[in-house]
Amino acid sequence: MINHTLKRRLESVVLPYVQMPAQYVGGERNIVVKNHDEVTGRLAIGFPDAYTIGMSHHGLQVLYSLINRRDDWCAERVFTPWPDMEAKLREYDLPLYTLETFTPLSEFDVVGLSLQYEISSPNVLTMIDLGGIPLEAEDRTMADPLLLAGGPCCQNPEPMADYFDVMVTGDGEPALPVICDAWLKLRQEARLPDGSYTPGEAGRREREDALAKIAAEFEFAYVPRFYTPEYVDGRVSANPRNRDDVPETIAPSVISDLDGIPLPTAPIVPYVKCVHDRIAIEIMRGCPHLCRFCQSTVIKRPLRIREVDTIVDAALESYRNTGYNEISVLSLSSSDYPHFEPLIRRLHEVFRPLGVNITVPSLRVNDQLRSLPELIGSDRRRSLTLAPEVARDDMREQIRKKIKNSDLIEGCRAAFQNGFESVKLYFMCGLPGERQVDLDGIVDLAEAIATVGKEVNGRNARVTASVSNFVPKAHTPYQWNGMQSREYFAWAHKYLYSRRTIRSVNIKCHDIETSLLEGVLSRGDRRTGKAIRLAWERGARMDGWTEHLDPERWWTAIEDAGLDVQNLLHDKYELMDKLPWDHVNVKFGRTYLEKEQTRATIQLADMAAAI
């Protein structure tokens, strides 16, 4: 059931005048188009970024496939349009629509958005507004779709709380279908005899009561309107519920049997080049390690795996359905998959005769790294990517990433011996207790690896040290720490550049303003939502793309919203302080995080005394 009227209008007055129109027309291989008259529920799955980013996100393909396996629901895709497309839609008063049937977002039962990156928050408002849905959750009635959010940014749901009806933490596969079914039932019960819904204040109250039933039924469904933050001295002091029939705290949604969740074996093949043009197969969810800086290891617990046969069979079926010549195995730490070696050997055995490359993007640095290059090498793979995070053993003990430089260097030696030509290393600066010697270590380690390349191949290897600015994230042991200042990061970056002596070593530091804004948006409370809206109203669009980000627009919006950046971002919390996200629970919970933060504080004191 394609909306041909809207499609023809787009083809005549919009698509000829925007860049890369193929991203707005749908019709790709393996899409699922259903007749809306033959299903009972309609879901729009949205990704608040460009098509080329969203179509590279494995989670979108998983949920799209999951819902479309059902006969009674359809799932369709929508992405944030680029500013030129947005301008044309507004010029001709046309709505944002899904790619499968050109249906406006306002006509769906549920609109689910995946919140992956804080800086993309204004894109959410663009999609809601262009979709013809009231921006503020409290202004909607049962005539409007349910606005549902998931993804890592929901670990602190407060900055976007005003704009969503329900926010979910944890795994999306068990949560999305049951919430969709429950909301559809509530909408059907609220429908008036003529097919319409109660308007005005009565309609808004009716929607609030329906949302209360969702919150009461599902422990992982956070409905922000039922929690009212309280503040003392500029910080959250409590976040109590404002009605008794909703839970005090929110639990994560968890899959117990990952192997039992079908993988998407007919992923959509875009017409345009995307960030990742390949088959992605998730082999494991969670991580066996407990790094103190890492939010993903906390929110993806417990550790769950897929069986080798499940992975290989899904990869082969995906290849037959797409023709891609590259398969990427996904997890937080792929080489920690318990059957890693037999899996990779099986994949090579099946796919090398077909000319298909196998990539492993997330390798752990340990003694196993010395043998991995031979296992994962290929004719097309010439660069090895590793994440040592820090460069000194005592700081690694502090962050609980127990790796050794000797393993890292010998693993790179083996890579160069097996045809690899370059190495990319991921580091952080600004960690709690960071010292100048830790910065020295980043450059020293990168140059030591470049020298190993010369020992093997007669010339210094190309080594890139990519240095990110540490942001203390919610639900990590470091969540009580403040973020380093703009001045510190500027000094640290300059110092790193100054110490480089080998030309083949490249130091790339992340943009400071982007990192600071990420800190504000990831650590903020509900008042941060006003700053997001002000930035959006003043033109913030696609700010995850460097060429579109205007930091000054953001800092002005943050100031005009009355936020104290020093208090919110840079000042530490005491261990017993209330945090803006405390009402959202994670596996192990706050007690574990408190113990880890206490241990980290003691270790930092010992490190400082040892200098």
Rounded Cα–Cα distance for residues 247 and 205 (Å)? 20
The mean pLDDT of 470-474, rounded to a whole number, is 96
The mean pLDDT of 470-486, rounded to a whole number, is 95
Query: Given the DSSP bridges, would you call strands 279-282 and 41-47 parallel, antiparallel or unpaired?
Result: unpaired
Rounded Cα–Cα distance for residues 526 and 237 (Å)? 13
Instruction: Inform me whether the pLDDT recorded for 377 exceeds 80.
Output: no
Assign 58 a pLDDT band (cuts: 50, 70, 90).
very high
Taking each helix axis from N to C terminus, what angle separates 512-523 and 551-560, rounded to the nearest 10 degrees?
Answer: 30
- 349, burial (CB in 10 Å: exposed 0-12, middle 13-18, buried 19+): exposed
pLDDT at 372: 61
Residue with tokens 């995307």: 274
DSSP per position, 192-258:
-TTS----HHHHHHHHHHHHHHHHHH-TTEE-GGGB--EEETTEEEE--BSSTTS-SSBPPB--S-G
* Topology of domain 2-15+29-236, CATH: Rossmann fold (3.40.50)
Instruction: Inform me whether the pLDDT recorded for 113 exceeds 90.
Output: yes
Instruction: Inform me whether the pLDDT recorded for 39 exceeds 70.
Output: yes
Q: How far is CA 454 from CA 8, 177, 447, in A?
A: 60, 55, 11
With beta carbons less than 8 A apart as the criterion, state whether 69 and 76 touch.
no
Distance of CA 127 to the CA centre of its chain: 18
Candidate from 14-18, 381-385, 549-553, 590-594 with smallest mean pLDDT: 381-385
pLDDT at 431: 95
Instruction: Inform me whether the pLDDT recorded for 449 exceeds 80.
Output: yes
Rounded Cα–Cα distance for residues 431 and 416 (Å)? 31
Instruction: Inform me whether the pLDDT recorded for 108 exceeds 90.
Output: yes
Q: Is the peptide bond before 199 cis (omega within 30 degrees of 0)?
A: no
- 360: part of which helix (H) or strand (E)? none
With beta carbons less than 8 A apart as the criterion, state whether 246 and 212 touch.
yes
Assign 586 a pLDDT band (cuts: 50, 70, 90).
confident
Assign 224 a pLDDT band (cuts: 50, 70, 90).
very high
DSSP per position, 419-452:
T--EEEEEEEES-TT--HHHHHHHHHHHHHHHHH
pLDDT at 376: 63
pTM: 0.94
Instruction: Inform me whether the pLDDT recorded for 373 exceeds 70.
Output: no
Which CATH code fits 254-361? 3.30.750.210
pLDDT at 364: 63
Instruction: Inform me whether the pLDDT recorded for 379 exceeds 70.
Output: no
pLDDT digits over 501-545, tens only? 999 999 999 999 999 999 999 999 999 999 999 999 999 999 999
With beta carbons less than 8 A apart as the criterion, state whether 156 and 581 touch.
yes
Across the chain, mean pLDDT equals: 93
Per domain, the residue ranges of the chain are 2-15+29-236, 254-361
- In this structure, what is the dihedral angle of CA atoms 156, 157, 160, 164, given to the nearest 10 degrees? 170
